[in-house]
Amino acid sequence: MGGVVPHIADRPPTVPGTKGDERWRVRRTAEDADRLAETESVFALSNGWIGWRGTLDEGEPYGMPGTYLNGFHERRELSYPEEGYAFPQLSDTVISAPNATLIRLWVGGERLDLRTGTIRVHDRVLDLRAGVVERHTGWESPGGPAVRVHSVRLVALPRRAVAAVRWTVEALDAPVDVRICSDALANERVPERSDDPRAASVIHDPLTAEYRRVDGPDGVLVHRTERSAQRVAVAVAHEVETPDGFASAVDETPDRLRLALDGTLRPGDRVRVTKFAAYECEPVDGSDPTPLADLVVAEARDARAEGFDALLAAQRAAVDAAWAVADVELDGDDELQQAIRFAVFHLIQAGRPDGDRTIPAKGLTGNGYDGHMLWDTEGYVLPVLTYLAPDVARSALRWRHAHLTEARERAAELRLTGATSPWRTIGGRECSGYWPAATAGLHVNADIADAVLRYVAATGDEGFLAETGLELLVETARLWRGYGHFGDDGDFHLHGVTGPDEYTALVDDNVFTNLVARRNLRGAADAAERHPEVAARLGVDPAEVAGWRAAAGAVHVPYDGKRGVHQQSAGFTGLPEWDFANTSDDDYPLLLHFPYLELYRKQVVKQADLVLAMQRCPGEFTADEKARNVAYYEARTVRDSSLSASPQAVLAAEVGHLDLAYDLFAESVLQDLADLGDKTADGLHLASLAGAWLALVQGFGGLRDDRGVLSFDPRLPTAIRRLAFCLRWHGHRLSVTLTAGEARYELPDAGPDATVELWHHGEHIYLDGGSAVTRPMPAIPDPGPEPPSPPGRRAGRRP
């Protein structure tokens, strides 16, 4: 980038609301120019349907441009050096829809490109209250003339198909000739990617032009994919203000619509381009593309008719409504206050309540993991959304239900019973190319069941349970019942699975898997008995239910009596220890420096597994067991996965190691803002961001909900003076405010007849809508010294 010359003052944001409060906004300046791709992820906007990465309006330089539509993808062939039965032959890969963010600028013939000329100011802000990204740039072109560019970009939360940008340019010092091109561009060039297995594959020119039309400054492009046979349409509608004397022209090619403006800009004059974009997609199915084109044209024009200011206001209202439930106030650490709001903002904008859509691992913020959704969604994201936006959680679970056919087919192909959902997918079919870490990760099915049970417990939505949830519970219970077997010891065993920890694989009796399978089996049995007619339609009879209960009751839980700890899986505590003394800092992440042959057979844990079992199924362990298990596994967990810090934080808090818990929370919540894993460029780690909320609410709030009732055992680390958060519970908004001295529970929106039952540190409380309840925070027993982490792997200490 050119040098930074703070010649003109930053203007105050033009969007009302945040006024420079860094706890409500994330800011990047020219100094962050070397982290373009990371910034694009951080500034990504989404409404659960459209995802616009935070690229510059002018398109270049870029890190990884991306315009994503939820579920829009291409398929590519997988090839294996050695084939195996039921190895997936095709994989889904997220691809970009046409990019309608682009507004390019030429100043005196020089293209605006921050790598050239001189930057007077460059300031971009993700405004967490307004739900927009705002940008101010003052730039001297290499030829001398200087301009100021300002833009506001939004992806409309209340209007599924719509995103918009308002862009302004002014001459600063002298009259200048400008050329402005507002583009919608398909098959935008993208950079090649690394060999890292966690990155995305790249398909070049994935879109084939099917149809296009221009009408004055507006236009529409329709394209299709080859193998996934999806059609995508983008329409743009422009609103242009120029000084007199500007010429306007429209240009179209199969892959590009362009509105070009040419003229001379004098100081004090400005050009303002407001672009309203609408996106839809549909299966091709041999159909005529024009209806879809007409639809998006109408959507874009409707948005223009409403006006950008109205979109901004509606956006603000939608965000305000979300924050009313979702805001977390964390007094005592402004950086983490900002970070938790950043985390929650991205969670909220990742999904939608309408339609049956899930949430990929990166949301719609990047193409990491090929844009796939993984078990993170049910394992980390939905438990949070169940409390903050239950309709969005329901939508994601309906998506799983809509793909039960593929899951049943996959189970049949694998010669298993019931249904088994894919480890990673966009379209619903298994896309993993390494079965020991994927197909063998059967716990994804119990994670889905768990998300169903939690959603129903939190909402009381028995209609959903009957229509959707029960079938998911039944088919997953059938999977477990058929997969497991009763051993010589009379216990029910699950052999040859892979648990959450990817540094072990194909193990017997993984405690996490076994316990979530138990919960799955019992949950299915309970639900079938609550909805007997639906169950009967699904072919469930009392004998089958009895079989589920028998298996659940006999689930084996391996325990090492000598060491007094649970075994992550059978025999784990007898494996060789990892040689941490001869492992250097450069050896992390271990998976890039050691073969699975070494990792799998030793006591080294990539990510919480037994600890996650204690988080997910807290009632299965005594307090003493938890304390011993936390100490044992803390010493062996290297956190090479961003999924790990959160459950470790929750359990560290539960057993009383509050400073450790706080540092783990910080690691979880700063995963992307601080780019701790150097992978934020590929998109945000939504599970880690969700995990940060869990670390606060389950860890310091002490929330437990696995038995269908709310209980809180709050305890605050010294760094947090006050922690306030809300939950939705059976339609109510429950507000919890914690300080060192007391916990305060309230139903701020409820009438006096409303009642919520909860537990506070073992005390049963009936909270009604009339008044808040406060209780003292009990002293936490001294847990003794903090358990050691592997050398160099403790979470960083907060200043």
Tokens of 197: 């297995």
| Residue placing its CB nearer to a second copy in the complex, 86 or 536 | 86
Q: How far is the CB of 469 from a second copy (least distance, A)?
A: 27
Least gap, CB of 488 to a second copy (angstroms): 6
* Nearer to a second copy among residue 111 and residue 193 (C-beta): 193
Q: Helix or strand or coil: residue 172?
A: coil
Work out how close the CB of 562 gets to a second copy at its nearest, in angstroms, rounded to a whole number.
Answer: 7
What is the sign, positive or negative, of the torsion defined by CA atoms of 678, 682, 687, 692? positive
**CA of residue 213 relative to chain centroid, distance:** 36
Nearer to a second copy, 270 or 495 (CB): 495
Chain mean position to CA 64: 18
Indicate the DSSP class of residue 618.
G
Which positions ≥6 away from 282 have C-beta within 8 Å?
Answer: 230, 231, 292
324 binds a second copy (CB under 8 A): no
Q: What are phi and psi of 557, to 5 degrees?
A: -130, 100
SS (H, E, C) 311-332: HHHHHHHHHHHHHHHHCCEEEC
Of 179 and 495, CB closest to a second copy: 495
Contact positions with a second copy (CB under 8 A) in 74-103: 78-86, 88, 91
Closest CB 511 distance from a second copy, rounded Å = 16
Asked if 799 interacts with a second copy (CB under 8 A), we say no
> Strands 90-94 and 73-77: what pairing?
antiparallel
CB of 55 or CB of 445, closer to a second copy: 445
559 binds a second copy (CB under 8 A): no
CA dist., res. 136 & res. 114, Å (int): 12
Please tell me the number of Cα atoms within 13 Å of 577 on its side-chain side.
10
Tokens standing for residue 681:
């460029």
If binding is defined by CB under 8 A, does position 412 make contact with a second copy? no
Of 115, 189, 485, 797, the residue at the interface with a second copy (CB under 8 A) is: 485
- Verify binding: residue 506, a second copy, rule CB under 8 A: yes
Work out whether 561 is an interface residue with a second copy (CB under 8 A). Answer: no
For position 568 contacting a second copy by CB under 8 A, the verdict is no
Q: Residue 246 interacts with a second copy (CB under 8 A)?
A: no
User: How many residues bind a second copy, per CB under 8 A?
Assistant: 52
- Considering the rule CB under 8 A, would residue 570 count as an interface residue with a second copy? yes
Of 9, 543, 581, 597, which lies in the binding site for a second copy, with binding defined by CB under 8 A?
597
Find the catalytic residue in 502, 544, 620, 667. 502
Whole-angstrom distance, CA of residue 794 vs CA of residue 774: 35
Closer to a second copy by CB, 440 or 473: give it. Answer: 440
Q: Which helix (H) or strand (E) holds 273?
A: strand 270-283
Residue with Cβ nearer a second copy (43 or 483): 483
Q: Is 734 in the site for a second copy (CB under 8 A)?
A: no
Closest CA to 650 of 564, 715, 708, 722: 715
495 binds a second copy (CB under 8 A): yes
Please, which residue, 87 or 106, has the CB nearer to a second copy?
A: 87
Asked if residue 496 binds a second copy (CB under 8 A), the reply is yes
Q: Is there a catalytic annotation at residue 140?
A: no
Mapping DSSP onto H, E and C, the string for 187-256 reads: CCCCCCCCCCCCCCCCCCCCCEEEEEEEECCEEEEEEECCCCCEEEEEEEEEEEECCCCCEEEEEEECCE
Query: Residues 240, 284, 313, 414: which binds a second copy (CB under 8 A)?
Result: 414
Nearer to a second copy, 251 or 413 (CB): 413
Listed ranges 222-230, 352-360, 491-499, 514-522: which one lies at the site for a second copy (CB under 8 A): 491-499
Write down the least CB distance from residue 632 to a second copy, Å.
15
At residue 686, what is the residue type?
L
Of 361, 322, 318, the C-alpha closest to 689 is 361
**Whole-angstrom Cα distance, residue 76 to residue 73?**
10
* Residues 394/661, Cβ–Cβ less than 8 Å: no
The Cα-based distances of 230 to 72, 89, 207, 227, 234 in angstroms read 7, 19, 10, 8, 13
Among positions 364-393, residues that touch a second copy (CB under 8 A) are none
* Main-chain dihedrals φ then ψ at residue 676, nearest 5 degrees: -65, -35
CA of 596: how far to CAs of 512, 584, 606, 608, 789, in Å? 21, 18, 12, 18, 22
For the bound state, the minimum distance from the C-beta of residue 575 to a second copy, rounded and expressed in Å, comes to: 6
Out of 276, 464, 600, 745, point to the residue binding a second copy (CB under 8 A): 600
CA torsion 444→445→446→448, rounded to 10°? 90
Q: Which stretch binds a second copy (CB under 8 A): 20-28, 257-265, 505-513, 735-743?
A: 505-513
Structure tokens at 86: 């039921």
Separation CA 112–CA 176 (nearest Å): 13
Q: How far is the CB of 789 from a second copy (least distance, A)?
A: 22
- Minimal distance in Å, beta carbon 440 to a second copy? 6
**Least distance from C-beta 788 to a second copy, angstroms?**
21
Q: How far is the CB of 362 from a second copy (least distance, A)?
A: 17
- Tokens describing residue 385: 């959304």
- Nearer to a second copy among residue 81 and residue 785 (C-beta): 81
**What residue ranges bind a second copy (CB under 8 A)?**
78-86, 88, 91, 195-197, 413-416, 432-437, 439-440, 485, 487-488, 493, 495-496, 505-506, 508, 562, 570-571, 574-576, 591-598, 600-602
Active site positions, annotated: 502
